[in-house]
Amino acid sequence: MTQSVQAQVGQIVPDFTLPASGGQDVRLSDYRGKKVVLYFYPKDMTPGCTQESCDFRDYHGDFATHNAVVLGISPDDLKSHAKFIEKHSLPFTLLSDTEHKVAELFGVWQLKKLYGREYYGIVRSTFLIDEEGKLAKEWRNVKVKEHTAEVLEAVRTLG
C-alpha cells in the first residue's frame, strides 16, 4: 500500500472524484461554498453502519439548515449503495470508493484485526470540511452513539 499525502486539519483537502449513488460522478470541489460532512463507514447494511447512516438521515434537515451536505463513503459498489439508500430512506449521497483511494487520502484504510484475522478495511471516521475546502475537524475511530449530534454541533460552531 502506497502512502500518499494525507488530508490535514487546517489544510485544503485535495480534490477527488468518486462514483455517486445517483449514477453521476461527484467531485469534492462541487460543494465549495458549503460545509461538507464526509463520513467513512466499513460496509452497507451492517448494524453499526446502518445506525450511523440512519442517525445522519435523522439529522439531515439540521445539517441543511447550517449549509452543510452529508456524504457517506464506503468501499461498497453503487448497486449495494442503491439498496442501502432505498431500505433506509437515506436522503444524502453515498460515494463508492471500491479502490479505497479516497480512504487512503484520509488515512482511514488501515490494517484491522478481527478474531485473530488481519485484513485491510475502513476505520469508521468523519471529516468536516469548511466552505473553502479546508479540513476543519476530524473524528477518527468513531463510536456511533451520539456521534452525529457531536458532528452537528461542530457544523453549528463553524459559523
Q: Which of 18, 49, 128, 142 is catalytic?
A: 49
Decide: helix, strand or coil at residue 99.
coil
Annotation says 49 is catalytic = yes
Cα Rg, the chain, nearest whole Å: 15
Give the Cα separation of 139 and 39 in Å (integer): 9
Whether the Cβ atoms of residue 59 and residue 148 lie closer than 8 Å to each other: yes
Give the Cα separation of 42 and 154 in Å (integer): 23
Residue positions annotated with a catalytic role: 49
